[in-house]
Amino acid sequence: MKLDSIRAIANAVLYEGYILYPYRPSSIKNRQRWTIGGVFPEAFDQQGDASRMETQVLLRGGEQAAFNVNFRFLQVMTREVGQLATPAQELPEEGEPALTRVPSFNLDGRELLAWEEAIEREIALGPLRPADIQEVATVLPFRFEGAHEIEPVRAQDGCIAAVLIRTSHKIQGVIDAKAQRLATDVWKLTIGIENVTPLVGADLKERAAAQLRAFASTHTILTVQDGAFVSLLDPPDDLREAAAQCRNVGAFPVLVGEQDSSAMLASPIILYDHPAIAPESPGDLFDGTEIDEILTLRILAMTDAEKREMASVDARARALLERTHALTAEDMARLHGVMRDHPSQASQIEPPPMGRDHEKPRLVSLLASGRSLCVGARVRLRPKSGGDIMDIALRDK
C-alpha cells in the first residue's frame, strides 16, 4: 500500500472545517475555527483541552512484520494586515516599517483581510518491528521553529501601500510507539503524540494564545509490511475482546485505502472502514458532512461582493471559488446523483428467522383515549412539546 493512495481521505480530514460556507471571514462560524483534532500544550491541559492523542490498534504479523507511522497536523499561522503610514518603494532591511494594523484594507479594488492560515506539518516514524519495541517504547522528539514574514503589497503605481504580516510560533512535541504481544502473531500497538510546547505568562490562561501553539486537525496514518491490521469496528470473533479493550484518546482508527488491511487512519472524526472521496466530487469544500451539490449551488448564488470577500481569504478559498465557477452542466449533473452497481451479497446473508412478532394477527382497530382508531381513519396530529422540526411542521395537520 503506497502512502499517496490514502492522501485524499487524509487531506479531507486535515482540512475539515478549515473554512465553512459562506466561506467568508466575517461569518461567525469562520471566527471559531480549529475545533477538530486539537492537541494543546500540556501546560494548558488543565483548561480541558487534551495535550495528548493516543491510538491503539491490533496488528496480525510474525516477527518480520514492520509498520510505519505518519503524524500529520496543521500549525496555525496568523496573517495580519498592515497599512503603511507612508507608501514606500522598498521595505526596510530589518524590522517593520511604520504601519497601522487593520482588520482589512482595500487597495485598488483588492481586499486584504486579517486571517489565520495553516502550515502542514508531518512527522514520520519507522519502519518499526513490534518485536523490537515490546519492552521500551520508541520515542521521537520534534520541533518546528517559529517564523515572522512580511509580504509587501504594491499599489498600481508600484509603491508599497500595505503589507501582510505572517507569524507562526515555535512548537515542540513528542511521538512514541510501543507494542504488546497478545498472541503468537497478534500485537497491540500504542502510538501517541504529545504537545510539550512551553507556555509562559498570560499564554497559560488564554486559549487563543495556546491555540497558536497547538496541533490542529491531528491524525495518524499507519501502514504495515508483512502483516495486516485488524478492523476495530468489525473484528474477527477471535479478536473481538482484544479490539474492545483498545483505548483510543481523541482518535478513531479505521482501515483505509483499497479493500485490504495494510493501512489505517486514526482520525479525530468518526469514520467507517475504507472511507473514500466520491469520484464525482470536483474538489475539497472543507465540509465533508455537507452535500457537494448544495454547497456548489450556494456558492454560485453568492453576490459579487460576497465572492470578492471569499476570493480574498486565501489561496484555498480562491481556488474553491474558481473551481466552482468552472463547473460545466455535465459536472453539475454528476453531483446531482449517480447509480452504482455493487456485488450482491444475497447468497451470503441468510434471512432472519420469523419470530413470534410476525405470527401475531394484524390489529383491526386500536383504542386510544377512549376512541377507536382503525386503518384509514382521519386524525389530527398534536405532537407533545419538546419535539423536533417535523413535529412542529406537522402540528395540527
Write out pLDDT tens, residues 282-336: 888 898 777 889 999 999 999 999 999 999 999 999 999 999 999 999 889 888 8
Query: What gap in Å lies between CA 356 and CA 353, rounded to an integer?
Result: 10
pLDDT more than 70, % of the chain:
92
Which residues are CB-neighbours of 108 under 8 A, at least 6 positions away?
Answer: 155, 156
Residue appearing with cell numbers 452497481: 341
Phi then psi for residue 331, to 5 deg, are -60, -45
**Helix %, strand %, coil % for the chain, to 5?**
20, 35, 40
Which residues are CB-neighbours of 184 under 8 A, at least 6 positions away?
Answer: none
Encode pLDDT of 100-159 as tens digits. Answer: 999 999 998 889 999 999 999 999 998 999 999 998 899 999 999 999 999 999 999 999
**Alpha carbon distances (Å) from 262 to 185, 221, 242, 255:** 15, 11, 19, 8
Q: What average pLDDT is seen over the chain?
A: 88
* pLDDT average, residue stretch 40-50: 81
Does residue 278 sit in helix, strand or coil? coil
User: How high is the pLDDT of residue 47?
Assistant: 64
Does residue 247 sit in helix, strand or coil? coil
Q: Is 98 exposed, middle or buried (0-12, 13-18, 19+ CB in 10 A)?
A: exposed
* Cα 23 to chain centroid, rounded: 17
**What element of type H or E holds 25?**
none
C-alpha cell at 272: 467507517
Encode pLDDT of 337-381 as tens digits. Answer: 777 765 554 445 555 555 555 566 676 777 777 788 888 888 888
- The DSSP 8-state label assigned to residue 256 in this structure reads -
User: How high is the pLDDT of residue 385?
Assistant: 72
Q: At residue 177, what is the residue type? A: A
- Taking the whole predicted model, whether its pTM rises above 0.85 is answered as no
